[in-house]
Every structure is written in structure tokens, then in C-alpha cells.
A and B are shown apart, each in its own frame.
Chain A
Amino acid sequence: MVVDLDTCTGCEACVVACHAENNIPTAGPDEAARGRAMHWLRVERYWEGEFPDARLKFRPVLCQQCDAAPCESVCPTYASHHTDEGLNAQVYNRCIGTRYCANACPYNVRFFNFFNPQWDKPLHLQFNPDVSIREVGVMEKCTFCVQRIKAVEQTADAEQREMKDGELKPACAQSCPATAIVFGDLNDPESRVARLFESGRGEKLLEDVGAQPKIVYLKRQAEV
């Protein structure tokens, strides 16, 4: 996945889409004030400089699906582990809620169900049937919309072809009006992701922590 920080406007459509797609509950004002909002994908906002030269920077941060994920080795029950496809899987049924993975994650992208999730009516009617509802005491995080990955893989298998570039879009990539989030197969040199990768603006977040994150952030043109 490549996130273009130059085109991102900070509109947070991706955040809303992620909530809708993955049945993420809203915490409510009280719980959010306690620091328990669960945004699998959040748009970080930083101010730079002093007025009148103040600049606003946005950065969407989501699970980086690290290759050497610190969250995986500390989970006592293998609820957090690496799949063959290179995703960091979170197995809700196996999670006993030690919260060690959340502490180990350098990006703070893991969230805990402090209570049983609640939805105000009529929102309880709009769940995505492909995504399970997590109960109290379970950790959750961005899965790169694994349900969509599985669906597209199965369709491609059934039709006996490879996946097309751009066929698979996680909810965030799909909803971004500025196409700042691009998802695809890095191994395919023709894909949009690979081409953006080569653009020379790319860098990874917190690379020197050593978690080997997969997401490439493209720096704003002014900084290159």
C-alpha cells in the first residue's frame, strides 16, 4: 500500500469507510474523552511553524502489516501472527486480551474492546456480514480488509485468472476522493503501487524501530 501525503486532504472519508466496512463501533463522547476511540485508520494532524506561516500536515496511519512485527512475537496465544501472504493476522477467537501487542506496537494502531460494542439504533442494521463483531476483551486492528482480499482471490480462482491491478481495494482506498491511498501487488512492476513506489518520494514510517513496515508514504513534493 502506498499513501500519498501530497494528495491527502485530511477529509477522513477513509476513516468513516473503514468504520462502516469493518463494523467498528463508535466509542461515544465519554469514552473518546477517556482515550478509547477505536479508529483502525486514523488521520494524524500535525501543526508546523508559527502563525502566519503555520502549516497543517495530515498523515493517515493504519496497521503497517510489519514483516518483523513486534506485536506478533509477544502474543501468548498466537492470536497475532503472520500469514503466508504477508499480512499480520488478528484472530479474534484466540485473543484473551493481554494487550501486550498494543503496547509493543510502535504505531499505536491496535485497539481494545474495553466494553461490549454498542450501536445506536438503527445503525445495528447496517453491519457488514463478512466481518465478525468483536466481543469485550478482544484486540482488533486494520486487516487490509482481509474479507475483500479473500473475496477477490476466490473470484479470481473461480474464473481461473490472476487478480487485476486495482480490482482489490480496501474500504479506505475505495473511498478516498483524492486517490491518496493506493493498494496493489508490489511484485507486479506494471501496477500503480509499484510505479508510485519507484517515484523517489517514498519513505516508511518509523523505519529505524526495525519492525519492517510495508506501507510506503510518499512525501509532499515541497519536501522532496
Chain B
Amino acid sequence: MSEYADTLVADLLRPLVKTSWRFWTLVVLLLGVVSLGVGSFAYQVNTGIGVWGLNSPVFWAFDITNFVFWIGISHAGTLISAILRLVNAEWRRPVTRCAEVITVFALMIGAMFPIVHLGRPWLFFWLMPYPTERQIWPNFRSPLVWDFFAITTYLTGSSLFLYLPTIPDFALVRDKATGFRRRLYSILALGWSGTTKQWHRLESAMQIMAIAIVPVAVSVHTIVSFDFSMAPVPGWHSTIFGPYFVAGAIFSGIAALIIAMASIRKFLHLEKYLHPVHFENLGKLLLLMSLLWGYFVFAERLTTWYGNAGSEMTVFWQTQRLSFAPLYWTMVVANFIVPVTILSFKRTRTIAGCVVASFGVVLGMWLERFLIIVPALGHKYLAYSWGSYRPRTPEILLLVATFGAMVLLYVLFSKVVPIISIWEMKIGEHPKLAHEQRTRDEAQAMWRTQP
């Protein structure tokens, strides 16, 4: 047992201990990409939203697409981690932390967009409820104010959900570190020692957080979908949006998780801990979500088509046959046809297959958000004011920068914190150390302790 534990600790602490020139190159590159986005934002604040491609009537496009997309990506992590904890699925142990990290960073990136898209972003704090000199408060009837509350709650919850189980790992690193790093990790570990009382309290807290975070996660993306369904825009005012968006969010989140896991497995040499079976399980979940997504899209489209209402059908044909059709059918291929094909068969449900399907899903889900927003806004009720949209450079830079920021934050995190939860892996090796001896083979059969 302790031999496994020693290897485990050595492997999982290696990224914290060893840094190669490849790391620094990647960080510098990513910082460059992110600074392009920051520069684009600064230019926009200085000059006006007019530097984007928005117009009348398409007042939201890339900005809100990115917002909904990143909030969607944030759903896998905490949701998967919480649900897997609640059902005691043992295979979650190496997956939970890298999933929770995606949630926190994707949320932070997504939460920037309600500020970035404002015409007067320096006044964003008017969305917060605080006593003002003017004695006016936010309008709680507005879905944007619901967004503020939901995202604040979810960000707080998922950051804490990420932080709490890292405390014992910070204590472990503290004990092995020297100098300034020892001080840093001491602060992060909060003086944790590992008494039975502390373990019990930690596990109670994790249980409560897991129970609480699931409804919060569901509510967050429902509320984000309410940004659309509460407006009388043809194609938006649909009752299906709540569940549709939550399903889509979990879908895109699992795809992001698979990509992240495959990356850390390859670049941090974690093949011993992230086994093909983990990707298989997530691949099956991705397949399920792809089918669910297809079901929601089919139900929504069929109902619209049968309803045959004038304005809704205009928007419908825009995506089905007219100007947005190429993007729409790309989305269907990327979100449904490719994933279902790859993931339905065990032979193709390999790590590489899952990653290919996941990249398709990430592209498809971004397109889905875009195609919900822009065709509908461009074709509202009065035909004289129909319009179209073309992205301009500042918006494209911002989009690219968000991906850069996500990767950068992830890379930096895995350099400072063990990306796989060490203490939870230790438990997994010998979950039931009863008084009788359990053989290695039995443990392997039950808990897949080796690849």
C-alpha cells in the first residue's frame, strides 16, 4: 500500500516540482493571446461598442454567445463531480479536481461577459444590490439581475467546492516544501493536520456542498436561458429553453472535461491514473447527452414547424435553408452525427475517439448559442427592420482570448496544485481496509487501481 501511495504522491507532485522550458513557452504564448483580448476590450471601452459588428436589430451576437458558451462549459465540472460523489461512483476519484477546475475558470471567464458587453461597462456595479445615494436598487424582474445572483452563487459555491478538498493536499505539499513555497502552502492549508474530527467535518461539508451545488448548477443555466425566453422574440420565447440549455451545458461541459483530461494525461504523464475506462465512462455520458441534445432540438423544431406561425417560421427557415443553413448543419454534424457515430461503438470509444468527438461538440455548442441569438434577432416581427450580422476583428480577438485564458489558467493551476486529488486517490486504493486482508487482485477488480 505505501509503495503505491509513494508513487502516487511522487507522480502527482511532479508538475509542482519540475518545470520545463515547454511550460514557460506555453505560458508566454498564452499570455500573448490573452493580452490581445485585453487590448481589444480596452479599445472597445475607449471607442464604443461600435467597433464590434452589432447593429440594429442584432444587438447581441458574439458577446452573449461567448457568455452562454462559457457558462455552459462550467457545468460539467461541479455537476459531474457533485453527482459522482453523491452516487459514490469510485471511478470519479482522479476526475473530480480537474473537472472542478474547469468549472471555476470557465465561470470566471463567462462572468466577465456581462461586464464586457455593456455599453457603459464602468457602471457594471449598478447590477449589484447595494444601498445607493439615489436610493434605487436593481430591477429584480430582469433576467440580467437573476444572472448576477445565479452566477455569484455558483461561482462562490464551485470555488469553495474546489478549494475544500484541496486543503489536505496543500497540507501534504506544505510538509514537503521548503522556503517561500512552504509558507505559501501553509497559508493555503490553513493549518490542517488531519485529525479524525477534521476529516469528518470535511466530508460532511463536501456532502452538503455536493447536495447544494446540483440545484444551483441547474438553476444557473436555466436563468441564463431565461435571458432569451423572457423576451417576445420569435424563436426565443419558448418554454423548452430552460431544460434545453441545461442539457446543452452539461453536454458541452463533459466535452471540455474530456479534452482537459486527455491533455493532462498526455502532458503531465498521468497514464497510470487516468485510464481508458475513465474516458469510456465519460464518453458514454457524452453520447447520452448528445442524444438528449438531439431530442430537445428535434422536439423544438418539430413543434415550431407544426405551429407554422409567421414570425417563427421566418426564423426557422433562416437556419434550416437560408443564410444560416451552412452553420446550422455544421452544428448538427458536430453535435450529433459525429459524436453519436464515434461514441456508440466500443471500438471507436477510445481516448482519441472521445477527444475528437469532444472537439466537435465544443464547436457545435458554440455554434448552437450563436444560432439561437443572431437569426432570431435579425428577423423579428417587422420585416422592414430585419438585419444581418458579421463579426469584426475586436470580437474575434476576444473570443480567441477567452480560449487562451482558459488554457492559461488551467496550466497555471496544474503547476501550483496537484491536478488529481491525492488523498482521495489514496482512499480509492484501499477503500475498505477491514480487518481481513484484501488481495491486490480483488482491489483491482473492484476499484481499477492499475491501468
Contact = CB atoms under 8 A, between A and B. Distances in A.
B118 A206 contact: no
Contact of B59 (A38, A75, A94, A112): A112
B414 interface: no
Residue among A45, A78, A98, A113 with most chain B CB within 10 A: A98
A99 B232 contact: no
Nearest to B127: A76
A99 B139 contact: no
Contacts of A114: 48-50, 54
B56 A113 contact: no
Contacts of B233: 103-104, 106
A23 B380 CA distance: 28
A38 B57 CA distance: 11
Contacts of B231: 70, 74, 100, 103-104
A108 B385 contact: yes
Nearest to B55: A35
A210 B148 CA distance: 28
A36 B56 contact: yes
A70 B232 contact: yes
A111 interface: yes
Most A C-beta atoms less than 10 A away, residue of B47, B121, B124, B126: B126
A77 interface: yes
A44 interface: yes
B119 A97 contact: yes
Interface in B112-170: 114, 117-121, 123-124, 126-127, 136, 138-139, 141-145, 148
Nearest to A97: B119
Contacts of B118: 96-98, 137
Contacts of B127: 76-77, 96
A107 B120 contact: no
A211 interface: yes
A210 B232 contact: yes
Nearest to A109: B385
A209 B231 CA distance: 11
A112 B56 contact: yes
B142 A209 contact: no
A61 B382 contact: yes
Interface residues of B, number: 45
B429 interface: no
A46 interface: yes
Contacts of A70: 231-232
Nearest to B119: A97
A35 B56 contact: yes
Contacts of A113: 48, 119
Contacts of A210: 232
B381 A74 contact: no
B120 A95 contact: yes
B377 interface: yes
Contact of A116 (B48, B123, B230, B384): B48
A98 B117 contact: yes
A38 B148 CA distance: 30
B227 interface: yes
A136 interface: yes
Given A98-B118, A102-B56, A108 B48 contact: no
Interface in B36-77: 47-50, 53-60
A76 B144 contact: yes
Given A97-B119, A103-B233, A104-B233, A112 B145 contact: no
Contacts of B53: 34
B55 A73 contact: no
B294 interface: no
A74 B56 contact: no
Given A97-B118, A100-B227, A206-B381, A137 B142 contact: no
Contacts of A115: 47-48, 50
Nearest to B376: A103
A74 B53 CA distance: 23
Given A76-B139, A136-B119, A108 B232 contact: no
B145 A76 contact: yes
Give the 9 A-B residue pairs with the shortest CB-CB distance, closest first.
A97-B119, A137-B119, A35-B55, A114-B50, A108-B385, A137-B120, A44-B384, A99-B59, A104-B231
Given A35-B55, A76-B126, 4 more contacts: A77-B136, A78-B138, A96-B118, A96-B124
Interface of A: 31, 34-38, 42, 44-46, 61, 70, 73-78, 81, 94-100, 102-104, 106-108, 111-116, 135-139, 206, 209-211
28 contacts: A31-B50, A34-B53, A35-B387, A36-B55, A37-B56, A73-B139, A74-B142, A74-B230, A76-B126, A76-B144, A78-B136, A78-B138, A95-B120, A96-B126, A97-B119, A98-B118, A100-B143, A100-B227, A108-B57, A108-B385, A112-B119, A114-B49, A114-B50, A115-B47, A136-B49, A136-B50, A137-B118, A210-B232
